[in-house]
Amino acid sequence: MPLVKRNIEPRHLCRGALPEGVTSELECVTNSTLAAIIKQLGSLSRHAEDIFGELFNEANSFYMRMNSLQERVDLLVIKVTQLDSTVEEVSLQDINMRKAFKSSTVQNQQVVSRNSIPNPVMEMYQRCDKPPPLNILTPYRDDKKDGLKFYTDPSYFFNLWKEKMLQATEDKRKEKRRQKEQWEQEAKKEPVGNDVATILSRRIAVEYSESDDDSELDDNEWSD
């Protein structure tokens, strides 16, 4: 359902009952229509001011982000120009000992929250009718549930998403357990000779790989 962010009030210019005792109905309707048009212009100017204010805030935020990005690029350019591949040599062992890169950039979280609601939407929300006071019936419920949540529950969609995520995690855990049990059953069904042959083949493969590593180390020593 689309949500109208800004409404120009009043929407109906000529709708309304004429007061009693009016001698010239046409003149009264004309004056009331002109007054409604002036109110519409005032509402339009207020919305225009709010729109330009939002544009200013977004442009200011974009400018700050660009300045931060430019500073990071300048620091990176300085570091790159200072590096000299002919002088500084980094061994593979030093590369493996270094910690993995971890960005320090803070990601925006909870973008859609009460603090980020635009002013026109907040004003519309404030004008809405309040929910009925069903919470006064909570002490009389046997299940001790909040009576107001049966009428409106802002945390419903979050709880629904949480249940789906927990169910998906539980399904994956059950699937892994089922596969593990299946592998164990298949291992028990295999004859002993095959198990011994498999173990011997794995051991030979490990010894062969270790011998290859030793030969590579010897080659590196000769190259040094």
DSSP 67-123: HHHHHHHHHHHHHHHH--TTT----HHHHHHSPPP---PPPP---SSGGG--HHHHH
The C-alpha atoms of residue 151 and residue 136 are separated, in whole angstroms, by 13
* Residue 215 token pair: 């030969």
CA atoms within 13 A on the CB side of 223: 6
The C-alpha atoms of residue 80 and residue 73 are separated, in whole angstroms, by 10
User: Which residues have a Cβ under 8 Å from the Cβ of 204 and sit 6 or more positions away?
Assistant: none
**pLDDT for res 39:** 94
| CA-closest candidate to residue 44, choices 89, 71, 6 | 6
pLDDT 10s digit of each residue in the chain, 224 long? 677 888 888 888 888 888 888 888 889 899 999 999 999 999 999 999 999 999 999 999 999 999 999 999 999 999 888 876 666 566 666 666 767 777 777 777 777 777 888 888 888 888 888 888 888 888 888 888 888 888 888 888 888 999 999 999 999 999 999 988 888 887 776 554 445 556 666 666 656 555 554 454 444 444 44
Query: What angle, rounded to 10 degrees, do the helices at 25-82 and 119-127 form?
Result: 130
Q: Which amino acid is at 45?
A: S
The C-alpha atoms of residue 167 and residue 171 are separated, in whole angstroms, by 6
**pLDDT for res 1:** 60
The answer to whether the Cα torsion of 152, 155, 161, 166 is positive or negative is: negative
Whether pTM exceeds 0.75: no
Alpha-carbon separation of residue 154 from 141, 147, 151, 159 (angstroms):
21, 14, 10, 10
